[in-house]
Chains A and B, each alone.
Chain A
Amino acid sequence: MEYFDKVKVTAAPHVRSTNSVTGVMTSVMIALIPALAVGVYYFGLYSLIVVLVCMLSAMAFEALAQVLLKRKISILDMSAALTGMLLGMNLPPTVPLWLPVIGAGFAVVIVKQLFGGLGQNFMNPALGARAFLLASWPALMTKFSPAIAGSWRSILVPDALTSASVSGGADAVSGATPLQALAAGSNLPGLWNTFIGNVSGVIGEASAAALLLGGVYLIIRKIITWHVPVTYIGTVAILTFFLGKNSFDLMTVGYHVFGGGLMLGAIFMATDYSSSPIDSKAKVVYGIGCGILTAVFRLFGPTAEGVSYAILIMNLVVPLLDKAITPKLYGEVKVKS
């Protein structure tokens, strides 16, 4: 019969959705754009360069590692680019450009490719690299510049940015992050400024509003579920309400929720597929665990921040959670003994 020769025979199903890894990774990058835009607006165009250097070097390192490991080069799936983007947004705006290159190399080669590549990393590559950089170059990694509205127009050089705090005028805030200020008891920026991002911090964490926007986008697009972000942020809010510096103070809770890396961590880092649990009940446990650790590190630890280490530690618990908590089976019957 006409048109009927050399048909293909496979097992069902015979059709596929248009979902793809590239699509997933691109969606997350789109969700990060508002937060990045706010970061660039307040910290200068230089921070955009930091993020771009991260992305490009992550892709380059991935290709290099895949050549050396004799794997198929898959940098166009954008997963390395996303890792780079997340790392970049976890760096202070003034780092010298060799730092992101090293960080991207660590994230992609050590944490991702050496453990099996896409989907096999046991911890979040961007956070692993951030922890590595923080341990190796603590001074560079904690040097925050003040947020200055509109600095993207003129400021390209990090030195100019740091000195701008002197002449920044009314819009300038001190170089301390809200959480550092909270811990030190020094002058706090307004909660509204903290919410919209007019505060010091790493490039991506400044604006809780922009990060929430990205989170809503990801949940609507069904890229992530609500379980991890909601339980994580909720746990931190509850614990800081009771145990925070000024207990039973909603302002303190506000700074803890909007001020540090919590939004970026809970929405974009803790939800990393490879290093978060499979089942939604397990996701709730994981989110609560992240929240407890974050609160403990922030309230009782020596540094103002705790999100990175909380997530990294919970990453290591994921295999156990995956074993212990599985979905409810349809028609599950009690095992007869």
Chain B
Amino acid sequence: MNLSFKGGIHPLSSIHHGKYLTEKAALEVMPAPKVLSFPISQHIGAPAKPIVEVGDRVLMGQKIAEAAAFVSVPVHSSVSGTVTEIAQKSHILGRPVLSIVVENDFKDEKVPGFGETRDISKLDKKELVGMIQEGGIVGMGGATFPTHVKLSPPDDKPIDYLIVNAAECEPFLTADHRALLEKTDDIVKGLQVVMKILGVQRGIIGIENNKKDAIAKVRTAVKGLPITVKTLRVKYPQGGEKQLIQAITKREVPSGGLPMDIGAVVLNTSTCIAIYQALVKQIPLIERIVTVTGIVKKPSNLIVRVGTSFEDVCEYVGGFTEHVEKLITGGPMMGIAQYSLDVSVIKGTSGILALGKELAVFPPQVNCIRCTRCVQACPAGLLPLTMNQHILRADYETAEKYHVMDCIECGACSYICPSNRYLTQSFKLGKMQILKQRKAQSAK
């Protein structure tokens, strides 16, 4: 039986969710470019602190910025070469971020121990979690929350569900799909390490039912291990952390709370690989799988060094085939539109998607007809049409009473709306305003 959650939609189902472009494209290593730029903020939390200076020679895998707090992770150079600049550079989130620019010497000279197998069987939980932070590991599904924080639940919150999020419900993205097929062992081994850290007896890998080949492959790989593969219904946002937890555990993360409050920890597929690489192979997070797709010449699943510019990636796949209306990092439902190609692939970059005029549409908004499709689609159980009214009137207080802060910004309501209303977009605005007011109030 395929598990699922309440609500949801089937975005772009008429074109097989856009995944047909790359789901059969095997992983391909993209050669490192001449110049790479490493933003010190590639995660949620305190930005890392640079520990190199302009002119320094750095090695592949060398730490170039260190964690500045508990909720922070270091940044490593993904090539060997020379630091040429430390300056504010464009960042995928829109605001410039201090970035360390490294000129590649194409020698790939590695730091000592890089790639050598390490015996971790005698290490204790604390040491392992420390190594995960040192490896610069963050949630690679897009939210980039530091993984070691997730793996350090307080003692009064025992974890009994450890779930690998391999739903990959965003249209167009196939990075996790390919990883499940081609990096199966890394994922399973990474999961086993985390099971040990958290003291969880059984690990679960949740995969959407449209990836039958991946389900079969992983099922074979976990035979005899305390790991279960659960198939999930193909529905967006099945890979939303809260929705995945609901589908698999039938528990709901309390409003305003964290998965660990109900004993669950969810890890992205790529994050599992990164954990295995960092702990066992001593390779910090310096590369990741990126689905480059849409109106590009050769849609691909690339293994890209972190710090590579979008321009280099797009050039590598042959450029664009028509005028780009929108360039998105991530998927079309929750990804972030970019105005420049002069931004770096960071740890959370799961895809680069170029949309032409066929899909990047801007239909005029008309009156809400109260059809309640948005209510039926909302996985959070909210009233998008009502919240939208209040936010457009700048009545954030009432919007808050209608639980706008529980909106996960999945975009399902905007997608489905026949009146083309900008629902999710207005909730983002409302949430920002409410947080601003809260901040102002607590400052008083």
- Chain A interface (Cβ within 8 Å of chain B)? 1-4, 7-21, 23-24, 74, 77, 79, 116-120, 222-223, 225, 273-274, 276, 278-279, 322, 326-333
Q: How far is the CB of A318 from chain B (nearest CB, A)?
A: 9
The chain A residue with its CB closest to the CB of B371 is A273
The answer to whether A19 and B326 touch across the interface, beta carbons within 8 angstroms, is no
Q: Is B12 an interface residue (CB 8 A)?
A: yes
Q: Known pairs A19-B373, A273-B369, A330-B252; list 17 more (Cβ under 8 Å).
A: A7-B326, A7-B337, A10-B337, A11-B428, A12-B334, A12-B335, A12-B337, A13-B332, A20-B363, A77-B366, A222-B373, A273-B370, A327-B378, A327-B381, A329-B380, A329-B403, A331-B253
CB contact under 8 A between A329 and B382, given known A16-B361, A278-B370: yes
B11, B376, B419 interface centre (most CB from chain A within 10 Å) = B419
The answer to whether B386 and A15 touch across the interface, beta carbons within 8 angstroms, is no
Q: Taking chain B's interface residues, is the majority helix, strand, or loop, or is none over half, making it mixed?
A: loop
Nearest 9 pairs of A and B residues by beta carbon: A13-B411, A19-B418, A3-B320, A118-B367, A331-B252, A119-B369, A273-B370, A9-B337, A11-B425
Question: In the assembly, what is the distance between CA of A15 and CA of B417, in Å?
Answer: 11
Q: Is B372 an interface residue (CB 8 A)?
A: yes
Segment 370-390 of B: residues with Cβ below 8 Å from A: 370-373, 375-376, 378-383, 385-386
Q: Return the contact of B327 from the options A2, A4, A21, A116 (Cβ within 8 A).
A: A4
The chain A residue with its CB closest to the CB of B171 is A15
Q: Is B323 an interface residue (CB 8 A)?
A: yes
The chain B residue with its CB closest to the CB of A10 is B337
The answer to whether A119 and B332 touch across the interface, beta carbons within 8 angstroms, is no
Q: How far is the CB of A203 from chain B (nearest CB, A)?
A: 25
Interface size class of B (residues with CB under 8 A): 35 or more
The chain A residue with its CB closest to the CB of B364 is A72
Q: Return the contact of A327 from the options B11, B359, B383, B422 (Cβ within 8 A).
A: B383
Query: Hey, which chain A residues are within 8 Å of B328, CB to CB?
Result: 12, 14
CB contact under 8 A between A7 and B369, given known A17-B11, A23-B418, A328-B381: no
Q: Return the contact of A3 from the options B12, B319, B360 (Cβ within 8 A).
A: B319
Q: How far is the CB of B170 from chain A (nearest CB, A)?
A: 10
Q: Taking chain A's interface residues, is the majority helix, strand, or loop, or is none over half, making it mixed?
A: loop
Query: Hey, which chain A residues are within 8 Å of B242, CB to CB?
Result: 330-331
Query: Hey, which chain B residues are within 8 Å of A1, CB to CB?
Result: 311, 314-315, 319-320, 341
The answer to whether B171 and A11 touch across the interface, beta carbons within 8 angstroms, is no
Q: Is B25 an interface residue (CB 8 A)?
A: no
The answer to whether B322 and A15 touch across the interface, beta carbons within 8 angstroms, is no
Query: Hey, which chain B residues are within 8 Å of A77, CB to CB?
Result: 366
Question: In the assembly, what is the distance between CA of A322 and CA of B332, in Å?
Answer: 32
The answer to whether B424 and A13 touch across the interface, beta carbons within 8 angstroms, is yes
The answer to whether A15 and B415 touch across the interface, beta carbons within 8 angstroms, is yes
Give 11 pairs: A residue, B residue, CB < 8 Å, sorted on A. A1-B314, A2-B320, A3-B321, A7-B339, A10-B326, A17-B416, A20-B418, A274-B369, A327-B375, A329-B381, A331-B257
Produce 1/0 per residue, B385-428, CB < 8 A to A: 11000000000000000110010010100111111101011001
B12, B320, B335, B371 interface centre (most CB from chain A within 10 Å) = B371
The answer to whether B326 and A14 touch across the interface, beta carbons within 8 angstroms, is yes
The chain A residue with its CB closest to the CB of B429 is A11
Q: Is B368 an interface residue (CB 8 A)?
A: yes
Question: In the assembly, what is the distance between CA of A2 and CA of B415, in Å?
Answer: 30
The answer to whether A12 and B369 touch across the interface, beta carbons within 8 angstroms, is no
Segment 339-371 of B: residues with Cβ below 8 Å from A: 339, 341, 355, 359-363, 366-371
